[in-house]
């Protein structure tokens, strides 16, 4: 079945009781059970499971080609629960360009959970091989990464991980399963901030992990979610289900417009460099072309003149909204180093752009006038 069809049909069976075509929303926090705890309806308590959440997880499993999925209250909730599910004493090797708060978890929380952490440029396979330790249990990758849009070879990294008994997790938030299928490339887990493209409308928080196989991490992760409570809300799950239905057509438009924007920015004399894997000048363009069907709606660029000029450009935009997050229908822009704070390693001249669904010509015109 083609992905476009799968995204619409997965988890979308008509309601058995009413025949409703739109998935029902179950808001109940508790369910009737028997005197001895029997579950005649299959559900017990909202922190354990919910029918709307089950539909979302079935849809995520299908569109990623996994064995099962777990949804969470946010992308970071999914991140924390997954890392807490790993056995103590292991080493997690993170990409050097991971989401800022994932770096905070690696630095401040993994030691409390009995885990070691280090970082490496995962576009350099030799460096990855040298960074592996005898107790490495997991490689954590973003591809494309946030905010530098690095692209790593997922199949090659899976091979390196599996050769030493480790596993590979890919944060696929930027690409989405519409453009990239990490499990098919050999990854063991895929993580998403559902808040972004899968929700797609800037109106819901959510996160998820999709598992290639039913392993011990799945069971531990499920238990962490149930006990510590990072459960997705039923309404949030329902909104993400709605977003998945239009994901293929939205991603096609995001990607086409982002490529047009990136090409115009790359030709501007006041732009030092554009980070977008769809440009032939991108260092990992060939890898991206091999493992992605299109290059996504996210890009970043660095302006000549450093931080002051980057902020000046932002002060002149008219159509773009200066706001954090990404993946909605509206185009957003921000100075990433300012958002991340004093500990940020992001270049001070860098501006991150989430290209929305407006006409590309209007977005380009706005950026051109802002650049001057």
- At residue 102 the predicted structure's pLDDT band, cuts being 50, 70 and 90, is very high
Any idea which architecture 248-371 has in CATH?
Alpha-Beta Complex (3.90)
In angstroms, rounded to a whole number, what is the distance separating the alpha carbons of residues 119 and 96? Answer: 5
- pLDDT value, residue 211: 98
Check pLDDT > 90 for residue 343: no
Looking at the chain, the whole-number percentage of residues with pLDDT higher than 70 is 100
pLDDT averaged over the chain? 97
- Residue the block writes with tokens 């008219």: 318
Query: pLDDT at residue 364 above 90?
Result: yes
For residue 154, is pLDDT > 90? Answer: yes
The C-alpha atoms of residue 278 and residue 280 are separated, in whole angstroms, by 6
Phi, psi at residue 99, to the nearest 5°? -50, 140
Token pair listed for 267:
């030709």
Q: Which two tokens stand for residue 322?
A: 């200066």
Number of Cβ within a 10 Å radius of residue 251: 24
Q: Please indicate whether residue 336 is annotated as part of the active site.
A: no
Does residue 127 register a pLDDT over 90?
yes
Structural tokens at position 332: 């957003």
Stretch among 142-146, 248-252, 267-271, 342-346 having the lowest mean pLDDT: 342-346
CB neighbours of residue 22 within 10 Å: 12
CB 92 within 8 A of CB 116: yes
Tokens of 235: 């309404």
Per-residue HEC secondary structure of the chain comes to: CCHHHHHHHCCCCCCCCCCCCCCCCCCCCECCCCCCCCCCCCCCECCCCCHHHHHHHHHHHHHHCCCEEEEECCHHHHHHHHHHCCCCCCEEEEECCCCHHHHHHHHHHHHHHCCEEEEECCCCHHHHHHHCCCCEEEEEEECCCCCCCCCCCHHHHHHHHHHCCCEEEEECCCCHHHHCCCHHHCCCEEEEECCCCCCCCCCCCCEEEEECCCCHHHHHHHHHHHHHCCECCHHHHHHHHHHHHCHHHHHHHHHHHHHHHHHHHHCCCCEEEEECCCCCCCCCHHHHHHHCCCCCCEEEEEECCHHHHHHHHHHHCCCCEECCCCCCCCCEEEEHHHHHCCCCCCCCCEEEEECCCCCHHHHHHHHHHHHC
- Confidence (pLDDT) at 61: 98
- Enter the tokens of residue 118: 């280090």
Q: Which residue has the tokens 């921000």?
A: 334
Q: Which of 43, 55, 153, 171 is catalytic?
A: 171
Say what the pLDDT of residue 288 is: 98
- Tell me what pLDDT residue 60 has: 98
Catalytic one among 45, 47, 109, 215? 47
Question: Does 47 participate in catalysis according to the annotation?
Answer: yes
Q: Calculate mean pLDDT across residues 202-206.
A: 98
What is the predicted pLDDT for the residue at 213? 96
Write out pLDDT tens, residues 161-191.
Answer: 999 999 999 999 999 999 999 999 999 999 9
| List 150, 167, 196, 264, catalytic entry | 196
Q: Residue 348: is its pLDDT beyond 90?
A: yes
Residues 78-82 have a mean pLDDT of 98
CATH of 3-245, one of 3.30.365.10, 3.40.50.970, 3.40.640.10, 3.90.1150.10: 3.40.640.10
196 in active site: yes
Q: Average pLDDT, stretch 2-9?
A: 96
Say if residues 236 and 73 touch (Cβ distance below 8 Å). Answer: yes
All CATH 3.90.1150.10 domain ranges in the chain, comma separated: 248-371
Question: What pLDDT band is residue 17 in, cutting at 50, 70 and 90?
Answer: confident
228-283 confidence digits (pLDDT tens): 999 999 999 999 999 999 999 999 999 999 999 999 999 999 999 999 999 999 99
At what angle are helices 360-371 and 306-316 packed, to 10 degrees?
130
What pLDDT is recorded for position 357?
98
pLDDT of 164 reads 98
Going by pLDDT thresholds of 50, 70 and 90, the confidence category of residue 45 is very high
Angstrom distances, CA of residue 109 to CA of 81, 192, 331: 12, 20, 33
The catalytic residue among 31, 43, 99, 276 is 99
pLDDT at 101 over 90: yes
């Amino acid at each position: 079945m083609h992905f476009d069809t799968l995204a619409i049909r997965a988890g979308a069976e008509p309601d058995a009781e009413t025949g409703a075509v739109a998935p029902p929303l179950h808001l109940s926090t508790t369910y009737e059970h028997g005197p001895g705890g029997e579950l005649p309806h299959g559900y017990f308590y909202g922190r354990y499971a919910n029918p709307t959440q089950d539909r979302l997880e079935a849809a995520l499993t299908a569109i990623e080609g996994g064995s099962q999925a777990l949804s969470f209250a946010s992308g970071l909730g999914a991140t924390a629960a997954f890392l807490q599910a790993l056995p103590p004493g292991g080493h997690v090797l993170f990409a050097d360009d991971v989401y800022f708060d994932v770096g905070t978890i690696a630095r401040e929380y993994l030691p409390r959970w009995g885990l070691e952490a280090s970082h490496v440029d995962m576009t350099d396979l030799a460096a990855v091989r040298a960074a592996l330790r005898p107790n490495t249990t997991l490689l954590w990758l973003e591809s494309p990464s946030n905010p530098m849009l690095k692209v790593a070879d997922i199949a090659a990294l899976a091979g390196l991980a599996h050769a030493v008994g480790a596993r590979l997790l890919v944060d696929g938030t930027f690409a989405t399963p519409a453009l990239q299928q990490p499990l098919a490339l050999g990854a063991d887990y895929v993580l998403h901030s559902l808040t972004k493209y899968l929700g797609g409308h800037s109106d819901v928080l959510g996160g998820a992990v999709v598992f290639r196989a039913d392993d011990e991490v799945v069971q531990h992760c499920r238990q962490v979610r149930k006990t510590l409570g990072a459960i997705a809300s039923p309404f949030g799950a329902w909104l993400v289900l709605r977003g998945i239905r239009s994901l293929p057509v939205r991603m096609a438009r995001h990607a086409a417009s982002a490529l047009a924007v990136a090409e115009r920015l790359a030709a501007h004399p006041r732009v030092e460099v554009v980070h977008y894997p769809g440009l032939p000048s991108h260092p990992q363009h060939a890898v991206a072309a091999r493992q992605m069907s299109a290059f996504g709606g996210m890009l970043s660029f660095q302006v000549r003149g450093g931080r002051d000029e980057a902020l000046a450009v932002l002060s002149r935009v008219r159509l773009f909204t200066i706001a954090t997050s990404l993946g909605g229908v509206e185009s957003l822009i921000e100075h990433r180093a300012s958002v991340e704070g004093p500990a940020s390693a992001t270049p001070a001249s860098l501006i991150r752009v989430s290209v929305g669904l407006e006409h590309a010509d209007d977005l380009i015109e706005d950026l051109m006038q802002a650049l001057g």
